[in-house]
Chains A and B, each alone.
Chain A
Amino acid sequence: MTVTLSLARWARRSNRRRAVEAVARALPWIAAGAALVVLALQRDHLIGAVCVGAGASAAICALVARRLRRVWHRPPSMARDLDGRHRTADLLRTAVSIEARPEASGPSDVEQVVVARARELVPKIAEGAVAPLRLRTSPLGVAALAVTALMWFTGANQGLAARPSDALTEKARAKAEEIEKAVDALASDKSMSADVKEQLAKAKDALKRAASAKTGTEALAALSEASRLLDEAAPHIAASKPEELEKLSEQQLADQLASAAKAGDATRVQQLSRELMKRASAAQDGGAALGEMVKNAAAKAGDPWGNGSGDGSPQSQRLAQLSNAGDAMKNGDLDSARSALSGLSKGAKPGAMDPRAAQLAAARRSLSDLRSATRSAMNSGMSPSPSSGAGTPQESRDAMAQAMRDAAMGKMPGSGGTPKPGSGAGKMAGMGKMPGSGMGKMPGSGMGQMPGMGQMPGAGQMPGTGPQADGGNHLSVLQNGTSDQHGSSGTSGMKGNSPSGATAPETVMAEEVKTDPPPPTTPDGIIRAIREHSAGDHTPTAFQALRDRYAAVAEATMHRDEIPLTRRDFIQRYFEALRNQEAQ
């Protein structure tokens, strides 16, 4: 065996060990680079991930190659290393150079002596010829890995939450499932019409899709669809329209009347009573069968278990009064029945809602919160908090919009006990097409003279006095009238024109007036109007008209699906903010 062969064998073994050492030393860097790539991928920065991956790979390869180049051995360098370690004064290196020479020029006498001495040396130094494997990691690499881990644990979750395409968080998903259960409970109500049940079932499916969505966009789309379906179902559940009431079967009518009486929903009782009396008057048997149904429904509502218990509470009293009305109808005494029902309406607590309507309203509110939170998370990268309060300005705006919708439905805060007619009425320009928010003079407390306060339906200025707003240059002015489901909803300018297609609640009525002057159409006029408004000129007529026209254009564009779903609410909130600013 020649000296060169021995050195080559040692060099290979040394190279393998050094390669393992270099890789072990680079492991923290590799891990850090991989973590960075994963982080970038989680944030959907594909290009960033590719760049980080390529850069990290190149850097690590360069570092490993640089290190290996310093320790990589071939027979001459191995000989040099061993000569240095064993102080053999270049014996091995000289022997290798002699052996590397072509065969033609054979070694001289002295060269043979050198090679012989080197061969003699090789077995003596074989044991420690190759440095042992020493696995060490780079302290700098460990530090980099630690920093990356810190980034991972502190920034990855936020990054996950910030991903626009991520699905709902666990909390949001739980909220969606909760809403789904509520909708399911509503759908199981036998008094619901088939259409409403179908809509609720669709809404439930949409909520299911939202809960199981893979991406945030998909979830938001499903939530929006569910919201639209619930908005559409809401008026049917409340059955506030005469045509809807007409669709109810007699048994459903009796059941809903009993339910409304039980809940103390005066408005609802009024609506149902009117329909009940209309049917009783038209019935051939004089309403006897209907009266029986009402009586049974009242009995069932007051004592669902049939144990005959009565606690004397106002609720029991109302049901007893309803039962009396049923008796009167059964006996053919429609006047007494009407009187009893009228008394029931008077005695009922004004503003109280049908439990199903309240349940639906709660579900809609929760859904709206969930949508806002999801949208905020997608837009701002914050974690959605569907149950949290309106902490951010965005949430405040959402809450304000929801409050305005609630106000439009007669749920304005402070409207429960002491109504103050006309108090705090601001001047809100009617948008005509905004869901629940398009109002003329927004009543601060939500009502003028509410039902049950002495003005019965039809009294005062009846609804239907103004044309429907079309988003054009009209200003809506709240009428000091009374809500009446028989009137045309039109004056709020919201009927059937919400983005979701839902019909706006009809408890607020207004008349429409044309704006004067009409919105500017020339560029100079537009700029002047905006400039005057920005300068604090409180003669907003021109600007309001301009804004309304732009809002209408935006709404129309959104209806044509030209605006991405995730940006629609943003645009809507922009115009809401403009209106709110003017209202202040």
Chain B
Amino acid sequence: MTPLRINVSSDVPQREALLAAASRIHNLVVVDSEAEADAIVACGDLGKWPKDLPVLQLGELSTNAPTNVYPALPNRFDPHAQAIRRRLDAGDLGKPGLVRLHVWNPASDTLNQRNKIDAIDLVQWLIGEDIESSFGTQSQANQVIHLGFVSGAMALIDFYDHLPADDRYRSLTVVGSDGAAYADDHRDRNLFFASGGMNAKPPATGHACLGPMLEDFASRMNDRDDATHAQRAYRAAETIVKQLLP
């Protein structure tokens, strides 16, 4: 198989991490110019990119994005989410009935609209159905989204971005008819006692989604897949965010 040649735009915030991830992927080669590339990884400014090249877009998807632009949907490639999805695909958990997701960031890393779209996309992707109903509410610093899915499945997501600096908390629970999976930073934390205090920190997995995300993109390019399905998932999540968290 000929490796996919990608060009990583300079506007990508995690560019170094992305290049490092790409260097490990057998069927992917990073090239320096758009002219040499089969595809582009970019963050924003869609109009700038050649219309005939596929684009993996990490930033917000513009309203008139053509079908060569793939929204990145990075949360699907988080290692915890991947592990749960494998168990769902294997049938170990049965039919998903509930997804509970807590997304907490420090004040220094405010959750933006794209972060919230990605969170809703993750829930949709795990349940594998269309959203039937939605409800949102919030307290001072905490936004809540309550979703219902066509077959009766349900989800609760909450967003909070006032944790202390450098801290971060994620908790993802999927309850299926035959079992449940719990991916929770509460379980993942290790204890460090130093300087008269105690810290509980999870091992870093911040960029672990990038490699699988690029591999998936390369695979889609190889299969000549277009971005219709990914765009549809993105738009469904975007609609919820715009309706409930304006």
**Bound pair (A, B):** no
Q: What is A's interface to B at a CB cutoff of 8 Å?
A: none
